[in-house]
Chains A and B, each alone.
Chain A
Amino acid sequence: MGPELSHIQSLTELDPKALSEVHKAHYASIYRYALHRLNNEQHAEDASSEVFVRLVEALHAGKGPSKSVTGWLFQTASNVINDFFRKEYRQATHPLDPHEMSEIGGAQASTNPSLQDPTLRKALSGLTEAQQQVLALRFSADLSLADTAKVMNKSVNAVKALQFRAVSNLRDALKDEGE
């Protein structure tokens, strides 16, 4: 997870250089994680920026990461994304199912060819939240099994099993879609 403890010292002082280093080290993976969950580039950009603003505010309030910056960032990203879905849910006139939640995120057409895989997107949105989380952390954010376990507060073996179940369920969902 990088040079965590030495960073935290400088981060608490909101040192621009230390903050820039953390941003450079983690922004891309946080963005990809957000994009995986939200299916919308603009929402992913907003969410990942919000994560780093929250980091600065938490550090200023003395409530920033104490051990792992990476873990803190991804847990915050997860909260930001859940807040986003909650907000959308409140604005909706009826309860949303996971497919509709996916539609909210992906309402605006993406210009990125990778995101134009509606079948996969739909299948992913049918997974449980934990399964979506593990695939986003492992395959979009490129976190190691150990780091994913820390972020998800699970054991490495539990994550390994969850990951396998997620991919298996995804395969089944795609079969149902006719692939």
Chain B
Amino acid sequence: MNRELDTAFENCLMAMDQGESLDQALSRYPEKADELRPLLTLASRTRQFTADLPSRATAMRSRSQMLGRAFELRTVDRGPAVQPWLRWSIALLGLSLFILISGGVGLMAASAQSLPGDGLYPLKRSAERIQLSFTPGLTNRLSLTITQDMRRLDEVLRLLELKRVEAVEFEANLSDRQGSRWQFGDIPVLVTQNTSIPSGLRVGDLLRIRGRTTSQGWVRADSIAAVGLTFDGYIEAMKGNIWVIDGRSLVILASSEIDGNLATGDLVRVHARSEGESLVIQRVIGINPAATPIPTLAPASPAADEPDPTTSSEADQDDRDESGDDESEDEREERATAEPDEDEGEEHEEGSSSGEGEPTPEAEETEDGSHEADDEHEGELKEIEFNGVIQAIDGNRWLIDGTTFLVDEETRLEGDPEIGDEVEVKAEQRQDGTLYAVRIDRHD
């Protein structure tokens, strides 16, 4: 074996990698061609030994396993890196010092009943933070966070009862939405023209509301932001209280609602909330593709029992349009709170032209949070382009990177896309949020 032959062999391999044929590669070394030819042929044959592998599904399983392990290890790190006895000793010492500094047990007890705006309220929140920082275990800390979030809701309700005007911030699920009047459980929230709202919010979403309580028993929102997320995906792994769904690791708490007997491989809809770096399952529901109604391509018609997530009624839009005139914000609020029935009457009256049970005329939210009259957008479809990997195909529902697209005979499929393929999707988003795939191209 000499170095010349080694080098000639390697150079021919590289040339073939660049697209040259065997003969073209060998033409560089005519004197060695007879010796190199069978070796290069054998190299090509060896290359074919593992060609075209692995499948996307195999790769996704491995990725989920890796990310699941990473999540487990990250959560181990979150707790204080001390022994439990030492942790509790420090907690006790810290709490003792805290009580001493803040004037004793009576003060602590008094602060527990305090509300936003009270002098002792900052003490209450500091005590909560200390309690949280010394709580061992991820699930315990997440449970405590949720308990503290519930306490914020009680505080807001108490402020509303007392008709106090205070700055508040809380997290709650949107339970109903009637134009500018949104409902979060027992807490009514008034959305004004100045309220910052992202698009795409739906009833059921977990939202963070910042605003002020009013003497009329409302919270006037300055901003509303999504805290949680909703997505569809397959359960890839269930390891104790950590489930991997669609490549995401999610924590199950005692408060998590699990719908039915779910198992690995089931297609589910997940409502989750972010807690720090963790995603906590609020609710997970099994999806039966056959039983789930598929929206048709007929003009959009939001469900009568579920207000459209991204729109408000025309009557409410009128409210907003009016609010842009000379009327002050307080006057608008007064009108909204004092005359809700009258407003609703107007809504029915104005909406009655389309008949009872017909879709309510709608306004569309723009990126800056303002609303535009719906008649300018009636029937308009939002076009989107999307790149991702096909994770599942259930009839005409395709799950691509966690997003469900509806595919029908009108959808143009290029390159015979299958599960695991990386694809580019061109889709139309209906006003009800449904995504219809117009074209799906498989990336080569």
Contacts and interface: CB of A to CB of B under 8 A. Distances in A.
Contacts of B67: 16, 19-20
Interface in A14-44: 14, 16, 19-20, 23-24, 27-28, 31-32, 35-36, 41, 44
Given A140-B50, A170-B46, A171-B39, A28 B65 contact: no
A167 B43 CA distance: 7
Interface in B25-68: 38-39, 42-43, 45-54, 58-59, 61-63, 65-67
Interface string B1-14: 10101110110000
Interface stretch (B69-77, B79-87, B430-438): B69-77
B187 to A, nearest CB: 34
B54 A171 contact: no
A31 B59 CA distance: 9
A27 B53 contact: no
Contacts of B52: 112, 114
A27 B47 contact: no
B63 A20 contact: yes
Contact of B50 (A24, A57, A114, A174): A114
Interface residues of B, number: 36
Given A164-B9, A167-B43, A32 B53 contact: yes
A49 B1 contact: no
A47 to B, nearest CB: 10
A119 to B, nearest CB: 10
Nearest to B8: A164
Contact of A14 (B49, B50, B74): B74
Most-contacted residue by chain B among A120, A145, A167 (CB, 10 A): A167
A23 B45 contact: no
Interface in B208-261: 247
B156 to A, nearest CB: 34
A140 B49 contact: yes
B59 A27 contact: yes
A48 B51 CA distance: 16
Nearest to A46: B62
A140 B70 contact: no
B266 to A, nearest CB: 22
A49 B66 CA distance: 7
A28 B46 CA distance: 17
B274 to A, nearest CB: 14
A139 interface: yes
A168 B47 contact: no
Contacts, number: 129
A57 B43 contact: no
A56 B66 contact: yes
Given A49-B61, A167-B43, A32 B54 contact: yes
Interface string A122-159: 00100000000001000110000100000000000100
Given A36-B50, A49-B65, A168 B6 contact: no
B62 A48 contact: yes
B62 A49 contact: yes
B62 A45 contact: yes
Interface residues of A, number: 45
Interface in A46-81: 48-49, 52-53, 55-57, 60
A102 interface: no
Contacts of A14: 70, 73-74
B57 to A, nearest CB: 10
B1 A112 contact: no
A114 B48 contact: yes
B63 A165 contact: no
B69 A53 contact: yes
B62 A52 contact: yes
B9 A167 contact: yes
23 contacts: A14-B73, A16-B67, A16-B70, A16-B71, A20-B247, A23-B63, A27-B63, A32-B53, A36-B49, A36-B50, A41-B54, A44-B54, A48-B54, A49-B66, A60-B73, A114-B53, A120-B45, A160-B9, A161-B3, A163-B6, A164-B5, A164-B9, A167-B42
Interface of B: 1, 3, 5-7, 9-10, 38-39, 42-43, 45-54, 58-59, 61-63, 65-67, 69-71, 73-74, 77, 247
Interface of A: 14, 16, 19-20, 23-24, 27-28, 31-32, 35-36, 41, 44-45, 48-49, 52-53, 55-57, 60, 112, 114-115, 117, 120-121, 124, 135, 139-140, 145, 157, 160-161, 163-165, 167-168, 170-171, 174
Given A115-B49, A157-B6, 19 more contacts: A16-B71, A32-B54, A48-B62, A49-B65, A52-B63, A55-B66, A57-B69, A114-B50, A114-B52, A115-B50, A140-B49, A140-B50, A160-B6, A160-B7, A164-B10, A167-B46, A168-B1, A168-B39, A174-B42
Sorted from nearest, which 6 A-B pairs have the closest CB atoms?
A52-B66, A49-B62, A32-B50, A60-B73, A31-B54, A14-B70
